[in-house]
Amino acid sequence: MITLGSYVIVKKLNTDIPKLVKVTKNGEVSIENLRFNISGAVGKGYGLFETQNGQIRDCCAPIAVDSGIALEELRPGSFNPENRKRVVEGDDDDAPPAKMMGQSLSSAEIGDLKLSGAAVKEAVTKLVNANPTFEVRTTYSQAKYVSKKSKVHTDRVYILKPTLRLMAQAFYIKNAEHIRYLKVDTYANIIHHTNIVPGCRVLVYDETQGLILAALLERLEGKGEIFLINNGCGPGSFQAVYAMGFKPEFLSVIRPIRWNTFSRAVCDVPKNGGSYKYSEDELMECESNEIKEPSASQQFMWARERILSSSIIDNLIFVGDSVNAADFIKHTFKAVRKSGNIVVYSNVESDARGVVSLLNEKSTVDVQIMKISSRRFQALSGRSHPVLNDFVASGIIVTATKTA
C-alpha cells in the first residue's frame, strides 16, 4: 500500500529509467517528459497507473498493461495515403532526390491533444495520419516509428515498491558519481563475495547512499551485528536504507561509529601503559525506521574493543574513494576472524593495487582482483552484433580470505 512519507519507484511504461521518489502531499513527479502529482496514488496498491492532466487516475486493469499498438489499429476506415500532399523541392530531372515533408502536426497541437485527455492510441493515430512519409516506409520502420511515439507520449506509469536492483539502477542513472560508479552487476558481485548469512558480524564502510548497508540488512534479517563506519546516518548518506522501509528489529543490528571517533580510536594510545575503562553496551533497540546513533563513548568502545583489539568480524567490506582503502584494511585486518571474507571496491586504481599488495603480505589466500567492462549489442531477428565498444566508468573489486 502506498502511504505518505514512504518511498516508491516510478517508471514509465516500456522504458528502463526508474526514479526513486518520496511520496509527499501535493508532490509533483517529473520523469522524462511526463509530469504528475503523486499524492493521488496514496492509499492504493502498487502497480500500473494512468495519468491525465497531471493527475493520477485509478489503476489500470491487468488487460491494459500491454501497450502494444498494431499498425492496423491506427488506420481509420476512410484513410487514403494518396490524399496526402507532398512538398517537392524542384521538378528538374537533374535535381537531387525529392524531399518530403515530415510531421505536419506542431508540438503545440500535440500538447493540446494530450491536455484534452486523448488516449495514447488516439494521439499516435493522429501522428501517423499526419505523417506523409509513413506509407513509404518499410514495415520495420513503421513499427519502429509507432513504438517510439507510443513510448514518448505514453501516459501510463508504474509505481513500484523499492527493491535493491531498482534503486541501484535509479541511483546510477541519476548520478553515478554519488554511488562511486557502482553498476548493478558490480553491486551483485560485491554482495555475492561477502557471503552474508543471519548471525554474521560485519564491519562495513559504505559510500553508496546505503546500497551496501541495505543489502546487508536484508540478508541478516535482524540477527547479527553491523559495525558501520560513517560520516552521518541521515537519509542523505543512507537513502537506500530509508527507502527500503526496514522494520525496527532489522535496524537494531547496526552499530554506527563516526569516522572521527574511529580515527581517534586508531591513533589514541592509553597513557603510561594503562587501560581504558568502558561502560556496558547500550541497547540499540530502534523504535522507528531511522538509524539510532549511540553516544560517543559507546562508539569509541566499539572501535577499540570490538574492531581494533579483537578478531570477531566475519566479513570486512569497504566501498568508497574518500578514504585510502589500503590504510583502512591495514588498521582493521586484525578484527577479521580466521576464514573471514574481505571485499574492497574502489575507483582509484592505485588504492586497489595497494590493497592487493597488502593482502599478499598478510595471511590471506585466494586474492582476486576484478574489473567490469561493458559492450553494447544490437539484437536482430536470428542474430546480433556489437554496436559500440565503450569504456564504462566502474571500480575495481578486490576479494580475499583470511587464514590466520
Q: Is residue 194 part of a domain?
A: yes
Residues 145 and 208 occupy one common structural domain: no
Residues 224 and 310 occupy one common structural domain: yes
Residues 291 and 231 occupy one common structural domain: yes
Laid out side by side, the sheet with 47-52 consists of 19-22, 7-12, 156-160, 47-52, 55-59, 34-37, 28-31
Residues 187 and 121 occupy one common structural domain: no
Residues 203 and 97 occupy one common structural domain: no
Q: Is residue 218 part of a domain?
A: yes
**Can you read off the three cell numbers belonging to residue 172?**
546510477
Q: Is residue 84 part of a domain?
A: yes
Q: Three-state DSSP class for 64?
A: helix
CATH number of domain containing 265: 3.40.50.150
Q: Domain count of the chain?
A: 3
Q: Which residues constitute the domain of residue 45?
A: 7-64
**How many CB atoms are located within 10 Å of the residue 96 CB?**
8
Residue of 332, 327, 380 whose CA lies nearest to 355: 327
Question: What gap in Å lies between CA 8 and CA 48, rounded to an integer?
Answer: 13
Which strand (E) or helix (H) includes residue 331?
Answer: helix 325-332
Q: Is residue 350 part of a domain?
A: yes
Q: What angle in degrees, to the nearest 10, is found between the helix axes of 164-175 and 211-220?
A: 180
In this predicted structure, what is the pLDDT of residue 317?
Answer: 98
Q: Is residue 167 part of a domain?
A: no
In this predicted structure, what is the pLDDT of residue 270?
Answer: 47
Residues 347 and 266 occupy one common structural domain: yes
Question: What gap in Å lies between CA 369 and CA 353, rounded to an integer?
Answer: 9
Residues 263 and 375 occupy one common structural domain: yes
Q: What is the phi/psi pair of residue 271, to 5°?
A: -75, 150
**How many CB atoms are located within 10 Å of the residue 219 CB?**
17
In this predicted structure, what is the pLDDT of residue 20?
Answer: 96
Question: What gap in Å lies between CA 154 and CA 261, rounded to an integer?
Answer: 52
Residue of 291, 121, 146 whose CA lies nearest to 217: 291
From the first residue on, what is the mean pLDDT of each consecutive set of 10 residues in the chain (404 residues)? 93 88 91 87 90 77 46 51 48 49 65 65 74 80 78 82 96 92 93 94 96 97 95 85 94 94 78 46 58 89 90 95 93 94 94 95 93 68 63 83 91
In this predicted structure, what is the pLDDT of residue 160?
Answer: 95
Residues 293 and 373 occupy one common structural domain: yes
Q: What is the phi/psi pair of residue 272, to 5°?
A: 55, 30
Question: What gap in Å lies between CA 91 and CA 159, rounded to an integer?
Answer: 54
**How many CB atoms are located within 10 Å of the residue 369 CB?**
15
In this predicted structure, what is the pLDDT of residue 384?
Answer: 67
Question: What gap in Å lies between CA 369 and CA 345, rounded to an integer?
Answer: 10
Residues 206 and 133 occupy one common structural domain: no
Laid out side by side, the sheet with 313-319 consists of 254-258, 225-230, 201-206, 313-319, 336-346, 396-402, 364-371
Residues 339 and 255 occupy one common structural domain: yes
Q: Is residue 362 part of a domain?
A: yes
In this predicted structure, what is the pLDDT of residue 78?
Answer: 46
Q: Is residue 287 part of a domain?
A: yes
Region label for 380, one of left (φ > 0), alpha (ψ between -120 and 50) or beta (otherwise): beta
Q: Could you say which of 64, 92, 111 is where a domain stops?
A: 64
Q: Is residue 248 part of a domain?
A: yes
> Is the whole model's pTM more than 0.85, yes or no?
no
